């Protein structure tokens, strides 16, 4: 362990949060900020990035001051599967609808986990897909197909 770093897990998480906040700020730099009374498209990303960076800084400082856990070994599958889940969702939402795309995304992301409790995972995926349909289609009235157009 590097001298002075007492909790590599907290330090790593804090640095990652600061890096993500920097990415938000970089990509939002061309957006108009506006004011509190009339927010522009860059208002929310900047403030969320600021809060994320502040939280990351506190966490990173905590990693230097308080004892904590070591970083777990890197598992590429645990990183790749949630990213693949976002891609799967994006490719499936138009042809298959929100319900099946959500279901497929959750199951794809769960494939990166070590546990083999597929019954519980499938139940969680069904509940999350139903919740997404309820939230986005019923409550927010977004024009999304819930099921494939063949089944409607």
C-alpha to C-alpha distances, 62 to 7, 55, 74, 84, 87, nearest whole angstrom: 8, 11, 22, 32, 35
Q: Note the pLDDT tens digit of each residue in 16-55.
A: 999 999 999 998 888 888 887 887 888 888 899 999 999 9
Q: Note the pLDDT tens digit of each residue in 68-88.
A: 777 778 888 888 999 999 999
- The token pair at 8 is 């590599």
- How many C-beta atoms lie closer than 10 Å to residue 78's C-beta? 14
Task: Output the pLDDT for position 124.
Answer: 92
Task: Tell me if the pTM is above 0.85.
Answer: no
DSSP structure class, residue 113: S
Q: Note the pLDDT tens digit of each residue in 105-136.
A: 999 999 888 777 888 999 999 999 999 999 99
Ramachandran area for residue 115 (φ above 0: left; ψ -120 to 50: alpha; else beta): beta
């Amino acid at each position: 362990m590097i001298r002075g770093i007492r909790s590599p897990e907290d330090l790593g998480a804090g640095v990652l949060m600061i890096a993500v906040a920097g990415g938000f700020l970089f990509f939002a730099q061309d957006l108009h900020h506006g004011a509190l009374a009339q927010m522009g498209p860059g208002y929310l990303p900047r403030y969320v990035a600021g809060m994320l960076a502040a939280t990351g800084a506190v966490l990173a400082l905590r990693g230097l001051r308080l004892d904590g856990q070591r970083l777990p070994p890197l598992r590429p599958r645990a990183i790749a599967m949630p990213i693949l889940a976002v891609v799967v969702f994006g490719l499936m939402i138009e042809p298959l609808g929100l319900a099946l795309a959500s279901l497929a995304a959750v199951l794809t992301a769960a494939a990166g986990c070590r546990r083999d409790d597929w019954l519980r995972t499938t139940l969680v995926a069904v509940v999350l897909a139903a919740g997404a349909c309820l939230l986005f289609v019923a409550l927010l009235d977004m024009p999304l197909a819930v099921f494939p157009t063949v089944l409607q």
